[in-house]
Amino acid sequence: MRTPSEQQDVVLVNGNVLTLDGERPSADTILIRRGRIRWVGERRNLSASVLAVAEIIDCGGRTVVPGFIDAHCHILAYAASLDAVDCSPSAVSGVDDILREIRKAAEVTPRGDWIRATGYSDFDLRERRHPTRRDLDLASPCHPVRLNHRSGHACVLNSLGLERVGIRADTEEPPGGTIARNLEDGKPSGLLLEMADWLDGRIPPMNEDKLRDAVSRASRIFISRGVACVVDATPSNSVDRWKFLRRMRKEKNFVPSLQFMPAAGRIDDFLRAGLRFGEGDSNALIGHAKIVIAQSDGNLHPRTDELGYIIEYAHSSGFPVAIHAVEADAVIAASEALAANRAPALRDRIEHAAESPPHVLDALLRAGPIVVSQPRFIQDSGLRYLRELGTDARWLYRFKTFVDGGLALAASSDAPVSAPSPIAGMCAAITRQAESGEVVGEEERLTAMQALEMHTKSAAYAVGAEDVAGTIAVGKRADIAILSADPTSIAPERLPDVDITMTMVNGQVVWQA
């Protein structure tokens, strides 16, 4: 890792620089001083005296773009997933495979300690069903087991796990959550929907040393993919979690710049701690207040009137909001609530906006929020969308329609739901292809430049950082990714072969191939 003195100028030369800055869209040389971009242009126009004392990084003709911004993910959940039993479709094909992997974990886990497994997809399993508590009991009756669904919105506990968290036949669901039950006896089947936050308060977290190591691993993955800034959008975010992640950032256990969304229900905690929207520094900032609209039981939680109150209170406290809304009814509710509680000085967001048939789209366009979506979902789950929704799949993730309608559209991974990879996200936004090769909503394809902007310029706008990030321009942070090829000039099928050869954060080389 190259770590020049903060006093030393760094000059990137011989690059195909895609600045995304309308005033100077291309260049071949960038001058960096004290972590900021101080000059962009052609090498022949840069003073020889500057070049003589600077550290020179020769880009070798490779493409230079603004550092990518992951505008919505879950850092601690992603970090924990790296230390969990891998039950993703690439690792397992059926319930028996899941049980085999959990048995392996049980052999090396002290009796009574929790086993965490993650990434299963009922659609991709041979059985096309969720595992049950009884399945997991066969693999590990003496360890509580938590098996997280790929989506992050469901999980399965074994019998000991249910007992540990206090779920019995007579346990009532928390608001917005669902405890699936057996038809024959009404007892919990082990499947829990929209109950992650509820469980997190009842299942011991990873010990701090393990979590610290896992966060460092997650950080290395982000920067190796060219990601220079990450937004943590976890709906249960607390002041303590902010302090932990900020400490990770200060200690350089987490390298990308951080923006942290407080849980909307905990705004008062943040205010009492002196933490308002925008508080922090250029490396770690307090962001939007996060709200989740859940619909697992067929009803919206919070109710429409409650949602309006939450938005109004967040706005009056100085926080813009980011509303998780996936299904059509939730997107309408979020859109109408934002339209009724406009705060012109604040930039509200809707996260996902997955289902947008015409009547939903109308409500969304009237409200005019920033939309933060996940193009990688099309690749990872496109086949399921097509099989379950048929022709209605054309209303999913309507990127082109959003952009044409004037909505600001930013991209994210939602890690651990999808692995952080802006290049893969760009590929999905351009091709709209599922892993099977089938196309989901061909008419919603973006151009390569639009897909690049989703992950850079538009993402910076979504997080309120357009003055310091998102483009390569004088005065901005030197957050930069160097790519092995120009993603805007190659055939879409070649995009997966584009590698990140270097990542810079605040002018420091933090990763190099």
Q: What is the mean pLDDT of the chain?
A: 96
In whole angstroms, what is the distance from residue 225 CA to residue 228 CA? 9
Domain boundaries, the chain: 69-75+206-505, 84-200
In whole angstroms, what is the distance from residue 105 CA to residue 128 CA? 24
- Is 7 buried (19+), middle (13-18) or exposed (0-12) by CB count in 10 A? exposed
With CA atoms as reference, report the closest residue to 121 among 145, 101, 95.
95
Residue percentage of the chain with pLDDT more than 70? 99
With CA atoms as reference, report the closest residue to 92 among 138, 132, 137, 123.
123
In whole angstroms, what is the distance from residue 122 CA to residue 155 CA? 11
**348 phi, psi to nearest 5 deg:** -80, 155
Confidence of residue 1 (pLDDT cuts 50, 70, 90): very low
Four-residue CA torsion sign, 137, 139, 144, 147: negative
pLDDT digits (tens, 9 = 90+) for 376-430: 999 999 999 999 999 999 999 999 999 999 999 999 999 999 999 999 999 999 9
**361 phi, psi to nearest 5 deg:** -60, -40
Rounded to whole angstroms, what are the CA distances from 7 to 47, 250, 257, 332?
Answer: 18, 20, 21, 52
Rounded to whole angstroms, what are the CA distances from 279 to 35, 248, 271, 432?
Answer: 20, 17, 11, 38
- The whole-number pLDDT of residue 6 equals 60
CA 1 to chain centre: 26
Q: Which residue has the tokens 């020179």?
A: 56
Name the superfamily (CATH) of residues 69-75+206-505: Metal-dependent hydrolases (3.20.20.140)
Angle at 143 between CA 140 and CA 148, to 5 degrees: 80
Indicate the SS3 state at residue 428.
Answer: helix
In whole angstroms, what is the distance from residue 430 CA to residue 15 CA? 24
pLDDT digits (tens, 9 = 90+) for 322-339: 999 999 999 999 999 999
pLDDT digits (tens, 9 = 90+) for 241-268: 999 999 999 999 999 999 999 999 999 9
- The whole-number pLDDT of residue 297 equals 82
What's the CATH number of domain 84-200, 3.30.70.260, 3.30.70.2190, 3.30.710.10, 3.10.310.70? 3.10.310.70
In whole angstroms, what is the distance from residue 30 CA to residue 36 CA? 10
- The whole-number pLDDT of residue 242 equals 98
pLDDT digits (tens, 9 = 90+) for 120-153: 999 999 999 999 999 999 999 999 999 999 999 9
Q: What count of residues does the chain have?
A: 513
- The whole-number pLDDT of residue 2 equals 47
Confidence of residue 44 (pLDDT cuts 50, 70, 90): very high
**Edge-to-edge strand ranges of the sheet holding 280-281:** 68-73, 227-232, 257-260, 284-286, 280-281
Q: Which residue has the tokens 């100085």?
A: 318
pLDDT digits (tens, 9 = 90+) for 46-99: 999 999 999 999 999 999 999 999 999 999 999 999 999 999 999 999 999 999
316 token code pair: 């009056």
With CA atoms as reference, report the closest residue to 450 among 396, 418, 488.
488
Query: Do 318 and 348 contact (CB within 8 A), yes or no?
Result: no
494 token code pair: 């070649």
